[in-house]
Amino acid sequence: MSRNRNRGIVGGAIAVVLGAFAWLLWGGLDGNIVYFLTPSELMAKGTQGYDAPVRVGGMVEDGSVVWDKDKLELRFNVTDGQAVIPVYSKGAPPQMFQAGIGVVLEGRYQRSGVFHSNTLMVKHSNEYKPPDHGEKPAELYKNLPRGSQS
């Protein structure tokens, strides 16, 4: 009888683990998944694309970068070559951020037509170059255009 009881316990434990896995796979993760889209794919979603957490990947459009160092506000356009989305980001950008570089943004596309980014990541090579002797991090931000964008 003890052997049958042990098999029942093991079988019940396996059923609980499989049930928990199924719940995570089909139900529990759905509200926490952040989808990765190109600007064209986000625009194609229409009104369903508004206010949903999403990752957008694309290239920073040349001539669109406006950095206000006093307010720590960054505005630029991201494109995939077909669609262009204006982006607003609060906080200092990564040091490698510049026009023409690939970026991945996490945030929400607002009904105003502007993507509000809370995370900005730049695509870069795996080669590390240490700062030059005496180079200060604040000097690296001098290359970003200043001003405000209407």
What digits encode the pLDDT tens for the residues 76-133? 999 999 999 999 999 988 888 999 999 999 999 999 999 999 999 997 666 666 667 7
Residues 18 and 90: their CA atoms lie apart, in Å, by 43
Q: Please state whether the predicted TM-score (pTM) of the whole model is above 0.75.
A: no
Q: What is the DSSP letter of 143?
A: G
**CATH code, residues 34-143:** 2.40.50.140
143 versus 79: which is more confidently predicted?
Answer: 79
The H or E element that residue 138 is part of is: helix 137-140
User: Could you give the percent of the chain with pLDDT greater than 90?
Assistant: 47
Q: What is the DSSP letter of 55?
A: E
Which backbone phi and psi does 116 adopt, to 5 degrees? -95, 110
The whole-number pLDDT of residue 126 equals 65
